[in-house]
């Protein structure tokens, strides 16, 4: 028998499955609601702003101040917290007395809503209007005072006002500018001009005396709008402002500055540069007035030390038997030239010792090739210093001529730098007449520079000694005029170093042309010229110049002196002697060494009126009066213009707007 369970069997439901089903239903409902919300939700609102109207009033006062009132209506789409008005200050003397009104109520200075603040950004004065607005239209009124905006000319005056520059990034619906002048000037004496974008419709009119109205519509972003109003002289006073005073003084200072500089330098030269008065000396003397070294005598006369003084010292050492000069005909290569020390130089002092110790260091007796040039380069500066120190120590100069010139060059440089800084300041400040000042500054620096080489001052003893040595130089330079050659021939060799130091060695040698003159024993052998071209250059022959019978070539110390013409050879000519003595050394120095030069003298005894752009301004004149002005307003027939371009000088205003 089957046994049947009598208990009721019922279906089992999972508790976990019911919870999952409920969660799925909730997620589905949320997603459906989100999707519906995204579909029917309005798009996010974009931010935008514009200027609906700009109404500017320029109340010109008789004292030249301009009271500016800017009434500006803005439209904001979205939330905004500030608007900035940028006013440039560089075109006027000053901008001040800023006030801001809204709905006739003055706003306080601050950072919160319904306030304003001012601050500088470069040359811009920023007037920031603070608020908390969204999707609305609001109007503010900004007032300020501009000084120095009037431009004055010979026949009329004008006010140029840059209502705004091409810096505003939003369109402007309409602009109206009213210029009110003091007094009661008839419209036919007023002139108006507008400068704006080519697609801007604008009009000018004069509704009454002393009033000019400028209007324009639909001005695109980044478009400028400038106006100018001209009026007769005397309507507005011309006060003595800082800029006017500077513009009045600057060109006159530019004219007087070089004259003043010249007079001051003359005074300084009389006190610190002119030599002490010396008694008049003979026009020439036939022998050196003192035992002064050739280099010192040359520096005493012309206040400078050049390669002639080094050559003169070497020539003097050669004359005294210490050195042998290079032979210019021994080799065409400069590297083969030789300079020889012939005897010990322990007894030499001063300049002679300096030259020998520099060229023949460490007991060397031969110097050749590029070594000569290298050592002469090293000798140039210390030799110059030594010569100047020697003539100062001798009491001939109050200070070293080189040091005096260096000090005055430095003063001239600082003077020029100062005038340059002043000129740049005048340009940056746009001071009228800066061009005249610049020209005067350049002339002043040149005048001062002209005195630099004349500032070394000789003492009384130095002036007396200079006169004597100049007389001796005259003798060397023009021997035939002063003395018989036969009498002077004995002094030829002894005076050669001085002739070199004075730069007249060729003049000295020419005086003995055609004479059977004994050549000094220290001279080197050179070819004898066979012809003398018209230019004075020597054309050498192939053969050497020989001494007398049985003697070696001229210049060999063992052979002694020899006569140029004693063996029947060509006589000593005018340039041969100078070339023979100094050609070798001078050729070496010129080839291997740039001639050392001293830092001394040579040898021997409207600026503020801005220009306009190339575009022309549209303008109107109210009546028959006509005028033209560079850089300002121009007149034309009465009427309006649908667009114009051009530029104005002077004036004020400008800038743009920003918001955020």
DSSP structure string for 48-100: EEEEEEEEEEEEE-TTS-EEEEEEEEEEEEEEEEEEEEEEE-TTSSEEEEEEE
pLDDT class of 452 with cuts at 50, 70, 90: confident
Q: Give the residue-averaged pLDDT of 229-240.
A: 87
The three-class DSSP label of residue 634 is: coil
pLDDT in tens, 331-342: 555 555 677 788
Residue 33: predicted pLDDT: 59
Query: ∠ CA 284-288-294 to the nearest 5 degrees?
Result: 120
Residue 485: predicted pLDDT: 57
pLDDT above 60: residue 538: no
When mean pLDDT is compared over 318-322, 600-604, 611-615, 652-656, the highest value belongs to 318-322
Sequence-distant (6+) residues with CB within 8 A of 95 are 87, 89, 125, 144, 145, 146, 147, 652
Among 109-113, 208-212, 221-225, 570-574, the minimum mean pLDDT is found in 570-574
Sequence-distant (6+) residues with CB within 8 A of 631 are 609, 610, 611, 612, 647, 648, 649, 650
With a pLDDT cut of 90, the percent of the chain lying above it is: 25
pLDDT above 90: residue 52: yes
Q: Give the residue-averaged pLDDT of 238-247.
A: 82
Q: Residue 117 and residue 530: Cα distance in Å, rounded?
A: 97
Residue 660: predicted pLDDT: 79
Among 91-95, 141-145, 247-251, the minimum mean pLDDT is found in 91-95
According to DSSP, the residues that pair with 179 across neighbouring strands are 58, 212
Q: Give the residue-averaged pLDDT of 385-406.
A: 88
pLDDT class of 306 with cuts at 50, 70, 90: confident
The three-class DSSP label of residue 37 is: helix
Mean of pLDDT over the chain: 74
pLDDT class of 613 with cuts at 50, 70, 90: very low
pLDDT class of 475 with cuts at 50, 70, 90: confident
pLDDT in tens, 581-611: 455 455 544 444 443 333 333 333 333 333 3
Which residue, among 337, 330, 311, 317, has the nearest Cα to 505 in the 3D structure?
Answer: 311
Find where tokens 């001798």 sit. Answer: 394
Residue 582: predicted pLDDT: 52
Q: Residue 342 and residue 558: Cα distance in Å, rounded?
A: 12
Looking at per-residue pLDDT, the higher value among 433 and 28 belongs to 433
Residue 597: predicted pLDDT: 37
Question: How large is the angle between the packed helices 370-393 and 350-359, nearest 10 degrees?
Answer: 160
Looking at per-residue pLDDT, the higher value among 574 and 556 belongs to 574
pLDDT class of 44 with cuts at 50, 70, 90: low
Q: Residue 527 and residue 540: Cα distance in Å, rounded?
A: 5
pLDDT above 50: residue 205: yes
pLDDT above 90: residue 531: no
Q: Residue 482 and residue 491: Cα distance in Å, rounded?
A: 14
pLDDT class of 420 with cuts at 50, 70, 90: very high
Residues of the chain with CATH 2.60.40: 48-237+615-659
pLDDT in tens, 101-115: 998 899 999 999 999
Residue 177: predicted pLDDT: 95
Within 10 A of 475 (CB to CB), how many other CB atoms are there? 25
Q: CB-based burial of residue 226 (10 Å sphere; 0-12 exposed, 13-18 middle, 19+ buried)?
A: buried
Looking at per-residue pLDDT, the higher value among 369 and 57 belongs to 57
The CATH number corresponding to 48-237+615-659 among 3.30.310, 1.10.287, 2.60.40, 1.10.10 equals 2.60.40
Q: Residue 56 and residue 143: Cα distance in Å, rounded?
A: 10
pLDDT class of 438 with cuts at 50, 70, 90: very high
Sign, CA dihedral 368-370-373-378, equals negative
Q: Give the residue-averaged pLDDT of 570-583.
A: 46
Q: Give the residue-averaged pLDDT of 153-182.
A: 90
User: H or E stretch including 647?
Assistant: none
pLDDT above 80: residue 139: yes
Q: Give the residue-averaged pLDDT of 89-93.
A: 82
Among 150-154, 510-514, 545-549, the minimum mean pLDDT is found in 545-549
Residue 211's alpha-carbon distances to 189, 495, 653, in angstroms, are 11, 93, 19
Secondary structure percentages of the chain, helix, strand, coil, to 5: 35, 25, 40
Tokens matching residue 562:
């020899």
Q: Give the residue-averaged pLDDT of 121-143.
A: 91
Predicted TM-score (pTM) of the model is 0.55
With a pLDDT cut of 70, the percent of the chain lying above it is: 67
pLDDT in tens, 61-71: 988 899 999 99
Residue 404: predicted pLDDT: 87
Go through the chain and tell me how many residues it has.
660
The three-class DSSP label of residue 218 is: strand
pLDDT class of 324 with cuts at 50, 70, 90: confident
Looking at per-residue pLDDT, the higher value among 100 and 582 belongs to 100
Q: Give the residue-averaged pLDDT of 237-252.
A: 85
Among 93-97, 277-281, 400-404, the minimum mean pLDDT is found in 277-281
Residue 453: predicted pLDDT: 83
């Amino acid at each position: 028998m089957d046994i049947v369970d009598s208990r009721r069997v019922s279906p089992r439901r999972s508790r976990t499955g019911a919870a999952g089903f409920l969660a799925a239903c909730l997620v589905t409902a949320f997603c459906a609601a989100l999707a519906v919300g995204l579909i029917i939700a309005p798009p996010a609102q974009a931010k935008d702003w514009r200027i609906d109207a700009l109404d500017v009033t320029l109340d010109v006062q008789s004292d030249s101040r301009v009271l500016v009132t800017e009434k500006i209506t803005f439209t904001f789409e979205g939330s905004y917290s500030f608007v900035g008005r940028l006013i440039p200050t560089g075109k006027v003397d000053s901008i001040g007395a800023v006030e801001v009104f809204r709905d006739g109520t003055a706003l306080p200075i601050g950072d919160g809503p319904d306030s304003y603040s001012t601050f500088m950004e470069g040359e811009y004065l920023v007037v920031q209007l603070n608020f908390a607005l969204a999707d609305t239209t609001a109007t503010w009124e900004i007032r300020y005072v501009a000084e120095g905006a009037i431009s004055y000319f010979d026949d009329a005056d004008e006010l140029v006002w840059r209502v705004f520059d091409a810096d505003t990034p939003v369109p402007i619906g309409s602009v109206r500018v009213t210029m009110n002048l003091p007094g009661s000037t008839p419209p036919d004496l007023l002139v108006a001009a507008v400068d704006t974008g080519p697609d801007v419709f604008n009009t000018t009119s004069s509704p009454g005396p002393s009033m000019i109205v400028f209007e324009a519509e639909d001005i695109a972003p980044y478009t400028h709008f400038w106006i100018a109003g001209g009026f007769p002289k005397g309507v507005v006073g011309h006060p003595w402002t800082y800029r006017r005073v500077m513009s009045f003084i600057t060109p006159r200072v530019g004219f007087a500055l070089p004259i003043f500089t010249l007079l001051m330098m003359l005074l300084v030269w009389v006190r610190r540069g002119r030599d002490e008065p010396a008694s008049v000396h003979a026009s020439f003397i036939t022998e050196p007035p003192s035992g002064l070294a050739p280099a010192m005598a040359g520096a005493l006369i012309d206040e400078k030390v050049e390669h002639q003084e080094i050559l003169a010292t070497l020539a003097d050492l050669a004359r005294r038997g210490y050195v042998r000069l290079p032979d210019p005909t021994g080799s065409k290569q400069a590297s083969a030239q030789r300079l020889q020390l012939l005897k010990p130089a322990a007894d030499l002092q001063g300049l002679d010792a300096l030259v020998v110790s520099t060229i023949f260091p460490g007991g060397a007796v031969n110097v050749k090739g590029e070594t000569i040039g290298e050592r002469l380069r090293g000798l140039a500066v210390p030799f110059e210093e030594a010569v100047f120190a020697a003539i100062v120590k001798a009491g001939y100069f109050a200070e070293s001529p080189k040091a005096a010139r260096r000090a005055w060059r430095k003063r001239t440089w600082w003077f020029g730098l100062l005038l340059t800084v002043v000129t740049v300041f005048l340009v940056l400040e746009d001071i009228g007449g800066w061009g005249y000042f610049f020209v005067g500054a350049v002339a002043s620096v040149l005048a001062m520079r002209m005195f630099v080489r004349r500032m070394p001052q000789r003492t009384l003893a130095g002036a007396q000694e200079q006169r004597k040595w100049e007389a001796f130089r005259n003798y060397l330079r023009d021997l035939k005029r002063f003395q018989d050659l036969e009498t002077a021939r004995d002094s030829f060799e002894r005076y050669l170093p001085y002739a070199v130091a004075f730069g007249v060695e060729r003049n000295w040698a020419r005086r003995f042309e055609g004479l059977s003159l004994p050549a000094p024993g220290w001279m080197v052998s050179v070819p004898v010229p066979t012809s003398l071209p018209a230019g004075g250059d020597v054309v050498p022959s192939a053969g050497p110049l020989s001494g007398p019978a049985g003697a070696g070539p001229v210049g060999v110390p063992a052979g002694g002196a020899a006569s140029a013409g004693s063996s029947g050879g060509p006589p000593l000519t005018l340039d041969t002697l100078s070339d023979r003595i100094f050609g070798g050394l001078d050729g070496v120095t010129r080839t291997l060494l740039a001639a050392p030069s001293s830092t001394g003298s040579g040898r021997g005894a409207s600026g503020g009126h801005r220009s306009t752009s190339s575009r022309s301004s549209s303008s109107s004149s109210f009546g028959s009066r006509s005028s033209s002005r560079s850089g300002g307003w121009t007149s034309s027939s009465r009427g309006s213009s649908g667009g114009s371009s051009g530029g104005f000088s002077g004036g004020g205003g400008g800038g743009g707007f920003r918001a955020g």
